Amino acid sequence: MTSSVTDALVGQVIDGRYRILSHLADGGMASVYVAMDARLERRVALKIMRPGLASDHLFVDRFRREARAAARLSHPNVVAVFDQGEDGGEVFLVMELVAGKTLREVIHAEAPLTAREALAVLEPILEALRAAHDADIIHRDVKPENVLVRTDGEVKVADFGLARAAGSQSTTSQSGVVLGTASYLSPEQVEHGTSDARSDLYAAGLLLFEMLTGRKAVTGETAIQIAYRHVHGTIEPPSEIVPTVPTALDEMVARATATEPADRFPDAATFLGALRSVRGLLSSDELDRRGVAGPAPEAPSEPDAHRSTSPTQALGTTTDPPAAPAAHEAAPVLSPTAALPIPATNQRPRTRRRWPLVALLLSLLVLGGSAGWWFTVGPGGTTLVPDVAGVRLEQAEGSLVARHLRGAPTEAFSESVPRGQVIGLTPTAGTEVRKRSVVTLVVSKGPERYTVPDLTGVKAGQVERTLHKLTLTLGPRTEQWSETVPKGEVVSQDPATGTSVGRGAAVSLVVSKGREPITVPEVVGKPLTDAQAAITAAGLEIERADDAHSGTVAKGSVISQKPAEGTLHRGDKVTVTVSKGPVMVQVPSVVGKRVKAAEKTLTDLGLKVRIERPLGEFFELVRNQSVRAGQSAPKGSTIVLTVV
């Protein structure tokens, strides 16, 4: 991305949220800007991918996938990834903005560093790599430019843009190009295109070499020459460049940068343990002695023409740097007795032997005095371990230094001791130990707390596995009917989502039994108002069909219902048919008619007829009818005819 393009982006707003304030740096894959997050009102580092890579959808897909992986890392020594996305063709990554210098700048300005300084920088780098490896992520591009030293001294590892899940070992891009920076590639990355956690540790060993010497461990005129030397060369001991480097650090560099991964530290935790052990064994003078790098060595020669063809032969021979100037010759060492006068020949022989005897006696006196000083008030003497439990780490380390002891802090959770204070120490307070001994300080990380996840809607069978990953346990489980949560899924939980709890805390669950079945109430024959109340009280809804006449069910009461029995669920409908009462018929006059004709007239109208003959059978004429002519009677009702 050219400077004109980078300058053009200043002032623009990315993704409607990140206003670019200034251009910060350029890298091989992207340019970095200082931006203002308008939503959270904070400054962030905004990395925008180069246009050529942004148009490669395979690279962009991997970039997104691996950005999400990096965002999972939450560690004080890892630069946090806040967001990633794409806006108008600009593929971007939003990261924590760290105010300070890169380790490259520190090395240029201050290297060679002392052993203490180098180990103080390497330790948080290894802590960051351990956190990444524990999350199954390898960095693959550990180098000084990707290590940031904040103004307050805190060290952070940045740019997991090349990071990949540790289970996926390929280190090549889709085009087959090895990913990473040549000077820090491990032999297996160069030779086989594979990497694992030990590849990151190889690069960390190279960083230690560079901090101790101020020089890169592997150099060359081209990337291929450098790669060849990773595979076929060896890393020289830092002490050959800076003689003051302790042998223990030579050995640490040698193990970390072994050609075969199996010969290196197996993991970051082991590397950290070795670092702390070596630091505890070195004296203050060894830790704080600042050396000066010797003359630059000659570049390693390339394979000659009589050997098998190598990658460097196609490049031609390299120009070796000038030979280092010869070291000064050592001055002659004089004997302690060289200045003593030689006795004359006329002196007695035993007089000549007196000087060696005197020298021996003086030496014994000096040695005796020195030994007494060494084993009493000197470094070889003893001291008592001070009681520093409950005090801040900085204060505890100061108390140890005052007693000529060295602290080796390690962390542990504590429910009672505040974060940063000492929980306990080994050896215990009051123990008599040699001066310069190492005292292990167990420092509180504060209460061990975990955030309760949102389990609602999760299948009950999956909950225990989810909780186990967070060191939480499954508490009592109860069941209840639910109209909204499917059967077998979590309805609610206790503690609630987002609650901070201790290790092993139990989370209780309420699990759905599904929708509650409701027995359909019987309402046939009941007045509509009573039927409606019964159905509503059951949690069902009533639906009224067209009313119908009924000769048996009173008007306004329920003739029938659907369904008539069984079960429904809350909110389901019960359909009822309400009686309009019987069909009414207007009764005609049949008085004076012969009984047969009168009976037929009434039955044709749907009425029933009953004949009464109080005077016997004479004329067979209707004298009276029970319902007067013109009145209405229910269809099917009985009309009584009086016949004479």
Average pLDDT, the chain: 82
Q: Which of 141, 196, 200, 250 is catalytic?
A: 141
Structural contact between residues 23 and 35, judged by C-beta atoms closer than 8 angstroms:
no
How distant is the alpha carbon of residue 199 from its chain centre? 22
163 compared with 290, residue with greater pLDDT: 290
Question: What pLDDT does residue 156 have?
Answer: 93
Instruction: Using DSSP, state whether 149 is helix, strand or coil.
Output: strand
CA 124/CA 129 separation, integer angstroms: 9
Instruction: Out of 65-69, 409-413, 611-615, give the one with best mean pLDDT.
Output: 409-413
Q: What percent of the chain has pLDDT over 90?
A: 55
The 10s digit of each residue's pLDDT in 495-545 is 999 999 988 899 999 999 999 999 999 999 999 999 999 999 999 999 999
Q: What pLDDT shows up at residue 379? A: 55
Q: Decide if 444 contacts 412 (C-beta within 8 A).
A: yes
Sequence-distant (≥ 6) Cβ neighbours of residue 437 within 8 angstroms: 405, 406, 427
Report the range of poorest mean pLDDT among 51-65, 249-263, 319-333, 464-478.
Answer: 319-333
Sign of CA dihedral 596, 601, 603, 609: negative
Name the strand (E) or helix (H) holding 248.
helix 247-256
User: For 313-328, what is each residue's pLDDT tens digit?
Assistant: 222 223 333 333 333 3
- For residue 353, count CB atoms less than 10 angstroms from its CB and return exposed for 0-12, middle for 13-18, buried for 19 or more: exposed
User: Lowest-pLDDT range, 108-122, 162-176, 417-431?
Assistant: 162-176
Residue 386 and residue 400: Cα distance in Å, rounded?
7
Helix, strand, coil share of the chain (percent; to 5): 30, 25, 45
Residue 436 CB partners (closer than 8 Å, separation 6+): 283, 379, 404, 405, 406
Render pLDDT for 455-477 as a digit per residue (tens, 0 to 9).
999 998 899 999 988 889 999 99
pLDDT digits (tens, 9 = 90+) for 103-162: 999 999 999 999 999 999 999 999 999 999 998 888 888 999 999 998 888 899 987 644
DSSP state of 218: S
| pLDDT-derived band at 51, boundaries 50, 70, 90 | confident
Q: What pLDDT does residue 6 have?
A: 55
> Looking at residues 609-621, what average pLDDT do you find?
87
In the residue annotation, 546 being an active-site residue is answered as no
Residue written as token pair 């940045």: 158
The per-residue pLDDT for range 560-612, each reduced to its tens digit, is 999 999 999 999 999 999 999 999 999 999 999 999 999 999 999 999 999 99
Q: What pLDDT band is residue 331 in, cutting at 50, 70 and 90?
A: very low
Q: How far apart are the first and last CA of the chain?
A: 125
The pLDDT of 378-405, averaged and rounded, is 87
Confidence category of residue 88, pLDDT binned at 50, 70, 90: confident
Residue 93 has pLDDT above 60, yes or no: yes
Answer yes or no: is pLDDT of 64 > 90.
Answer: no
Residue 1 confidence class, pLDDT cut points 50, 70, 90? low
Q: What is the pLDDT of residue 534?
A: 95
The pLDDT, as a whole number, for residue 53 is 74
pTM above 0.85, yes or no: no
pLDDT of residue 385: 93
Q: Which domains occur in the chain, in start order? A: 3-96 (3.30.200.20), 100-273 (1.10.510.10), 382-444 (3.30.10.20), 449-512 (3.30.10.20), 517-581 (3.30.10.20), 584-643 (3.30.10.20)
Residue 389's pLDDT is what? 93
How is 318-349 classified by DSSP, letter by letter?
Answer: PPPPPPPPPPPPPPPPPPTTTTSPPPPTTS-H
The proportion of the chain whose per-residue pLDDT surpasses 70, expressed as a percent, equals: 81
Answer whether residue 339 shows pLDDT above 50.
Answer: no
pLDDT given for residue 641 in this prediction:
93
Instruction: Kindly state the helix (H) or strand (E) to which residue 267 belongs, with its residue range.
Output: none
Among 84-93, 279-288, 582-591, the range scoring the smallest mean pLDDT is 84-93
The span from the CA of 67 to the CA of 37, in Å, is 18
- Whether 31 and 50 have beta carbons less than 8 Å apart is answered as yes
Between 618 and 219, residue with greater pLDDT: 219
Tell whether the model's pLDDT for residue 21 goes beyond 70.
Answer: yes
User: What totals of helices (H) and strands (E) does the chain contain, helices first?
Assistant: 16, 32
As a whole number, mean pLDDT of residues 295-308 equals 43
pLDDT, mean of residues 349-371 = 42
Q: What is the pLDDT of residue 49?
A: 85
Q: What is the pLDDT of residue 440?
A: 94
Q: Where residue 223 falls among pLDDT bands split at 50, 70, 90? A: confident
